[in-house]
């Protein structure tokens, strides 16, 4: 193994619940995620910018909840999240002996978010679906990620909190592991000897 490849959201970064934002602006719970992710496809493969995607979300919400509530709800929802400390500790341990990269289904805002969180200094490389033009779990996304990173599938361990994405990695010969939380991430890394000093 020469590369640990990690998903970002749900593995190294988390967001608080949307429910408080939805309650504040009169949106039914679950609305923000439903609308946002329903419109995210083009943004995740770089066909539209993050700003264009969020504008589309705002416009769709405005149809049902009015322009003011839509604008304010999307502004509040546009947050950077927070680093999961336990996962960052694991990354730092692995990185003492191995290369570590992120592979995120992300919009064009990813570099800015990583800088804000300080994660741009905590990994060796970053693969963004918006820049490679393909999103997990498709085989093409993993092939393009490997090509960008100049590493072979059999040299790579990939960890994601989404089981479908982990399965997508396995489909191209990567050691894909479903890690729903930091404890599972620790176990996966330990099982592969990546935490050994």
User: What does the alpha-carbon distance between residue 175 and residue 180 come to, in Å, rounded to a whole number?
Assistant: 16
State the pLDDT at residue 197. Answer: 65
Tell me: do 9 and 26 sit in the same domain: no
Please state, as a whole number, how many other Cβ atoms lie within 10 Å of the Cβ of residue 28.
Answer: 11
Tell me: do 94 and 145 sit in the same domain: yes
Tell me: do 58 and 110 sit in the same domain: no
Tell me: do 97 and 173 sit in the same domain: yes
Tell me: do 157 and 87 sit in the same domain: yes
Assess if residue 197 is contained within a domain: no
Tell me: do 61 and 134 sit in the same domain: no
Q: Give the domain extent around 43.
A: 19-77
pLDDT tens-digit map of 43-74 = 999 999 999 999 999 999 999 999 999 999 99
Assess if residue 116 is contained within a domain: yes
Phi-psi region of 13 (alpha: psi -120 to 50; beta: other; left: phi over 0): beta
Tell me: do 93 and 184 sit in the same domain: yes
* Distance from chain centroid for Cα 132: 14
State the pLDDT at residue 104. Answer: 98
Tell me: do 73 and 161 sit in the same domain: no
Tell me: do 89 and 184 sit in the same domain: yes
130: domain CATH number is: 3.40.50.1000
Number of independent structural domains in the chain: 2
Looking at the whole model, is its pTM more than 0.85? Answer: yes
Assess if residue 196 is contained within a domain: no
User: What does the alpha-carbon distance between residue 8 and residue 28 come to, in Å, rounded to a whole number?
Assistant: 27
| Under 8 Å between Cβ of 126 and 110 | yes
State the pLDDT at residue 1. Answer: 65
Looking at 51, 77, 103, the residue that finishes a domain is 77
pLDDT tens-digit map of 101-160 = 999 999 999 999 999 999 999 999 999 999 999 999 999 999 999 999 999 999 999 999
Q: Across residues 156-171, what is the average pLDDT?
A: 98
User: What does the alpha-carbon distance between residue 76 and residue 151 come to, in Å, rounded to a whole number?
Assistant: 39
State the pLDDT at residue 196. Answer: 87
- Give the containing element (helix H, strand E) for 115: helix 110-117
State the pLDDT at residue 38. Answer: 98
User: What does the alpha-carbon distance between residue 94 and residue 150 come to, in Å, rounded to a whole number?
Assistant: 19
Tell me: do 105 and 187 sit in the same domain: yes
Q: Across residues 148-175, what is the average pLDDT?
A: 98
pLDDT tens-digit map of 6-46 = 999 999 999 999 999 999 999 999 999 999 999 999 999 99
Looking at 45, 77, 109, the residue that finishes a domain is 77
């Amino acid at each position: 193994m020469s590369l640990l490849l990690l998903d970002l959201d749900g593995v190294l970064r988390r967001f608080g619940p949307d429910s408080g934002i939805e309650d504040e602006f009169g949106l039914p719970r679950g609305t923000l995620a439903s609308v946002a992710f329903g419109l995210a496809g083009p943004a995740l493969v770089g066909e539209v910018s993050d700003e264009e995607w969020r504008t589309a979300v705002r416009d769709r919400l405005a149809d049902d909840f009015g322009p003011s509530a839509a604008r304010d709800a999307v502004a509040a929802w546009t947050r950077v999240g927070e680093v999961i400390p336990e996962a960052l500790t694991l990354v730092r341990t692995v990185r003492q002996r191995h290369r570590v990269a992120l592979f995120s289904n992300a919009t064009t805002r990813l570099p800015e978010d990583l800088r804000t969180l300080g994660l741009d200094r905590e990994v060796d490389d970053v693969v963004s679906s918006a820049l490679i033009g393909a999103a997990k779990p498709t085989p093409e996304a993993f092939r393009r990620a490997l090509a960008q990173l100049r590493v072979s599938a059999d040299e790579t361990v990939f960890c994601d909190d989404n089981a479908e994405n982990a399965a997508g990695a396995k489909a191209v010969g990567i050691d894909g592991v479903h890690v729903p939380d930091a404890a599972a991430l620790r176990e996966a890394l330990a099982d592969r000897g990546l935490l050994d000093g």
